[in-house]
Amino acid sequence: MKLLIIGTNGVHISFDLDLIDPTVAPGVSVPAPNGLSLAQTYELIDEIVKYHSIIKSADLVEFNPVLDKNHMTENLAKDILKKWIEEF
């Protein structure tokens, strides 16, 4: 799939950790039961990275360290950010 962007210089990605199932990412303010699995999360991140040439900015939101368990969400967020930094 190829995206065409007409009349813009690029896009912004806002990745909300709340969309991931709380068994994978418990450290969020609004958990989404039956959300994305770990495998689906990494697939989505890989798909986003494919469009690095048009992504001009990105943020990773909704991490709540108070609700995190064993740094699960923190480590996942770090993995996502590392992938973005390497690819963007």
Cα distances (Å, whole numbers) of residue 46 to 7, 14, 40, 65, 83:
26, 15, 10, 25, 9
The per-residue pLDDT for 34 is 96
Provide the pLDDT for residue 87. 84
pTM of the full structure: 0.86
d(CA 37, CA 40): 5
pLDDT at residue 79, as a whole number: 96
pLDDT one-digit tens code per residue, 3-47 = 566 677 888 999 999 999 999 999 999 999 999 999 999 999 999
